[in-house]
């Protein structure tokens, strides 16, 4: 039996937020002092490094559970399965439901339970739970679905990655320009078809690295000290990712028994274009090779970094021919990889 993605769906919010929308922000240092550059220069340097020209924010009346439901609906329809036949709904996110303008997250009931409710699934044996694993959450969810199916505990699983990061960003932190909202979903099944997940790798680095991404105060010292926002040590994350992600990717390829040349595409978490390019370059360098042109499709330029949603959204766009000059075809070997808060790293190699 092989473990395959039999359907996919995504929800890309309608609201487009270009870099120019940050022109009136007062960006501060972590000490609370104004940055010694104009916002125009900040935005220009930001785009050069991250590749992000614009991002998507969810409408004010939508929650993470709503956009997760929209993506899940599409994946179920795409797969052609009956939602009642699902054994597990595994939902990756990091901040739960944060209402527009609110300062609290809402995690009771779980986001997965809300999605199951919205799908109107009656079957109580369809188990719904959340996974908190940083940006690699969807990839980890797929590997958990694979384990359930291989053990005989499940036949069909829905794995969703959804996030509304626009609700947890500090408007005085220039890193806030990175984050966006979105949702991607996939149906994972055991089938007799050729291909599927060939190998996987996962790890948590916590001894020194656990707090590279964290919840912290606004850089504006006049803001409520009890309100927290997503914060990161960008340079430390960059160095960590560049050192460790290529190794996990190499481990996957070696476990699969396939030559590097068999890999047609690398779907990497859309965190930062410069960082992602450096990771892929380092991965190929480990094999004394150079990356083929077009090996790494990117959606970050227009969608930003939506955390757990970046990879399933990118996959859905590719498989449905919605990304210019990029495509996925039957028989292609794809390497999925992600890195994020925790610090967690994972990867799996997959034959379509």
194-236 pLDDT, tens digit each: 899 999 999 999 999 999 999 999 988 888 888 899 999 999 9
The whole-number pLDDT of residue 28 equals 84
Each residue's pLDDT tens digit, 16-44: 999 988 888 888 888 888 888 888 888 88
Find out whether 128 and 89 touch, Cβ atoms under 8 Å.
yes
Mean pLDDT value of segment 100-113:
91
Q: Which helix (H) or strand (E) holds 75?
A: helix 64-79
Judge if 182 and 330 occupy the same domain: no
Distance CA 349, CA 352 (A): 10
Supply the pTM of this predicted model. Answer: 0.94
Q: Residue 135 pLDDT more than 90?
A: yes
Last residue of a domain, one of 163, 192, 221: 192
- What angle in degrees, to the nearest 10, is found between the helix axes of 39-50 and 273-285? 30
Q: How far apart are CA 287 and CA 149, in angstroms?
A: 33
3 state SS for 260-315? HHHEEEEEECCCCHHHHHHHHHHHHHCCCCCCCCCCCCCCHHHHCECHHHHHHHHH
Q: Specify the CATH number for the domain of residue 49.
A: 3.40.47.10
Q: Which of 139, 173, 192 is the last residue of a domain?
A: 192
* Burial (Cβ within 10 Å: 0-12, 13-18, ≥19) of residue 182: buried
> Do 212 and 162 have their domain in common?
no
Separation CA 165–CA 229 (nearest Å): 10
Q: Please tell me the total count of domains within the chain.
A: 2
The whole-angstrom separation of Cα 131 and Cα 113 is 12
* Domain C-terminal end among 132, 165, 192: 192
| Chain length of the chain | 352
**Stretch 10-15: mean pLDDT:** 97
- Domain holding 247, by residue range, is 197-351
Say if residue 272 is in the same domain as residue 334.
Answer: yes
- The backbone torsions φ and ψ at residue 160, rounded to the nearest 5 degrees and listed phi first, read -125, 140
Query: What secondary structure letter does DSSP report for 105?
Result: -
Task: Output the average pLDDT for the chain.
Answer: 94
Same domain, 26 and 158: yes
Residue 155: its pLDDT value, please? 96
Q: What is the per-residue pLDDT for 222?
A: 83
Q: What is the pLDDT of residue 193?
A: 87
Based on the domain organization, do 224 and 162 belong to the same domain? no
Same domain membership, residue 160 and residue 14:
yes
Q: Please give the pLDDT value at position 39.
A: 83
């Amino acid at each position: 039996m092989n473990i395959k993605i039999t359907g996919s769906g995504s929800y890309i919010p309608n609201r487009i937020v270009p870099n120019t929308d940050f022109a009136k922000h007062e960006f501060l240092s972590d000490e609370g002092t104004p940055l010694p550059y104009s916002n125009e220069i900040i935005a220009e340097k930001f785009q050069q490094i991250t590749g992000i020209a614009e991002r998507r924010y969810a409408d004010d009346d939508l929650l993470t559970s709503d956009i997760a439901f929209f993506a899940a609906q599409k994946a179920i329809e795409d797969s052609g399965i009956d939602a009642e036949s699902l054994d597990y709904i595994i939902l990756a996110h990091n901040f739960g439901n944060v209402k527009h303008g609110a300062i609290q997250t809402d995690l009771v009931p779980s986001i997965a339970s809300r999605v199951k409710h919205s799908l109107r699934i009656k079957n109580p044996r369809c188990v719904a739970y959340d996974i908190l694993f940083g940006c690699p959450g969807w990839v980890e969810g797929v590997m958990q679905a694979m384990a359930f199916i291989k053990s005989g505990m499940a036949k069909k699983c829905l794995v969703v990655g959804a996030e509304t990061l626009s609700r947890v960003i500090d408007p005085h932190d220039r890193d806030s320009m990175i984050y966006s909202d979105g949702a991607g979903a996939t149906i994972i099944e055991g089938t007799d078809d050729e291909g599927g997940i060939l190998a996987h790798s996962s790890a948590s680095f916590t001894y020194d690295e656990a707090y590279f991404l964290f919840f912290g105060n606004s850089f504006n010292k006049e803001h409520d000290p009890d309100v927290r926002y997503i914060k990161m040590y960008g340079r430390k994350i960059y160095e960590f990712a560049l050192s460790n992600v290529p190794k996990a990717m190499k481990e996957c390829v070696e476990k699969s028994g396939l030559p590097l040349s068999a890999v047609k595409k690398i779907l990497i978490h859309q965190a930062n274009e410069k960082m992602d390019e450096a990771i892929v370059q380092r991965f190929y360098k480990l094999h004394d090779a150079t990356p083929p042109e077009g090996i790494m499709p990117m959606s970050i330029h227009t969608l930003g970094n939506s955390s757990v949603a970046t990879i399933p959204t990118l996959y859905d766009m590719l498989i449905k021919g919605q990304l210019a000059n990029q495509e996925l075809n039957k028989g292609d070997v794809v390497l999925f990889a992600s890195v994020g808060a925790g610090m967690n790293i994972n990867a799996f190699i997959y034959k379509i």
